[in-house]
Amino acid sequence: MNKFGGDWTKKKIEILVEYAKAYLKIMAKYPHFHLLYFDGFAGSGIIVKDKNIDIQLTIGAARRIVELDNPKQFDTYYFVEKVKKNADLLEKFTKYEFPQKNILIVSEDCNLKLVDMAKYLKSPKGKDTKVLAYIDPCGMQLEWSSLQSLKSLNVDMWVLVPTGLGVNRLLNKNGNISTGWLKRLVKFLGMSEVEIKRYFYFTESIETLFGKEIHESKVKNAIEKSAILYRDRLNEIFSFVTLPFVLRNTKGTIMYHLFLASNNKTATKIGNDIIKKFNRIN
Ligand SMILES: C[S@@+](CC[C@H](N)C(=O)[O-])C[C@H]1O[C@@H](n2cnc3c(N)ncnc32)[C@H](O)[C@@H]1O
């Protein structure tokens, strides 16, 4: 079972479900499309908040989406979950309980499956398929190159970006980032090391006892800057990207930003309305 999350865990699921309901309502008018729901970091179906103190179970996004069927359901559900134990549990909570639905569960890396899905959508078989995708990693597992494969395709994608919990933590104060962390940032942002440094750091010349020294310093608002950067990058792949829903921990620190990206303007209009509503009550 997945063990994580604060209140943001519930909020991001409610946002997704509200959007999926609106999406299915609209798509009920276009029965010739094959509707595919793709969840790249699907989890186990159940989320345990803190089993040591006060057990609190949250039904995961995968199961919540499978439950939707009025006025329409998805034609296919494709769940990717790398950890086999989680994938097996998810199977119990979805496939076994809804045997009449077309549910596929694979224990694989989401990055590989995004590329496979893109190939399918570009093939004659996938030409009438529309996708609602949910990309909900806990860390920086999503690679930019996998997202690039979705360019110009019929995909509405909700993506959770670990701006505070991921990017900001890897960018240390003096720019002395370890090789491993830099590699992770390069894969995640799809930018070169030089571009990343130029964006998040500035150099200043400081007068010391022994003359001038050049210091590299991190920008103050790195979390917000990483959200702006990621949104701009998404806009290079998708025509429209919503405002972010900001996910904070109990101390008010920003952990993640959630975006909807799509090539359909109406999709992001609906997404923005939902996000604004949730940001107001955040
Ligand atoms: C935040 S959880 C997902 C929670 C889920 N969306 C829900 O509502 O229950 C992220 C999940 O992604 C899985 N995971 C981590 N890396 C992965 C990868 N590269 N590909 C697919 N799944 C991965 C983890 O095992 C974990 O279960």
pLDDT digits (tens, 9 = 90+) for 165-201: 999 999 999 889 999 999 999 999 999 999 999 999 9
Q: What are phi and psi of 209, to 5 degrees?
A: -55, -35
Report the residue among 13, 41, 47 best suited for mutation to probe ligand 1: largest number of ligand atoms under 8 A from its CB: 41
- Global pTM reads 0.95
Span 220-228, average pLDDT: 97
Cβ neighbourhood burial of 157 (10 Å; 0-12, 13-18, 19+): buried
The C-alpha atoms of residue 217 and residue 36 are separated, in whole angstroms, by 45
Separation of CA 23 and ligand 1 centre (Å): 23
Give the number of the atom of ligand 1 that is nearest the alpha carbon of residue 45: 9
Between CA 153 and CA 105, with CA 70 as vertex, the angle to 5 degrees is 55
* More confident position, 256 or 250: 256
Pick the CATH number of 2-170+234-280 from 3.40.50.720, 3.40.50.300, 1.10.10.10, 3.40.50.150: 3.40.50.150
Separation of CA 10 and ligand 1 centre (Å): 15
- Residue nearest (by alpha carbon) to ligand 1 atom 19: 109
- Residue nearest (by alpha carbon) to ligand 1 atom 18: 109
Question: What lines the ligand 1 site, CB under 6 Å?
Answer: 2, 13, 41-43, 47, 60-61, 80-83, 86, 109-110, 136-138, 141
pLDDT digits (tens, 9 = 90+) for 235-246: 999 999 999 999
Give the number of the atom of ligand 1 that is nearest the alpha carbon of residue 80: 21
Single out the residue of 79, 81, 86 nearest to residue 64, CA to CA: 79
pLDDT digits (tens, 9 = 90+) for 8-66: 888 999 999 999 999 999 999 999 999 999 999 999 998 876 555 555 678 999 999 99
Give the number of the atom of ligand 1 that is nearest the alpha carbon of residue 40: 21
The H-or-E segment that residue 101 falls in is: none
Give bridge partners of residue 214 from the DSSP assignment: 205
Residue 95: the pLDDT is: 97
The C-alpha atoms of residue 52 and residue 236 are separated, in whole angstroms, by 44
Q: How far is CA 44 from CA 65, 94, 100, 233, in A?
A: 14, 10, 20, 30
Residue 54: the pLDDT is: 57
Separation of CA 109 and ligand 1 centre (Å): 10
CB 158 within 8 A of CB 259: yes
Cβ neighbourhood burial of 252 (10 Å; 0-12, 13-18, 19+): exposed
Residue for token digits 């993640």? Answer: 256
Residue 250: the pLDDT is: 85
Q: How far is CA 101 from CA 19, 43, 65, 78, 113, in A?
A: 21, 19, 12, 11, 21
CB 272 within 8 A of CB 19: no
CB 170 within 8 A of CB 185: yes
Distant-in-sequence, close-in-space partners of 216: CB < 8 Å, separation ≥ 6: 174, 175, 176, 197, 201, 202, 203
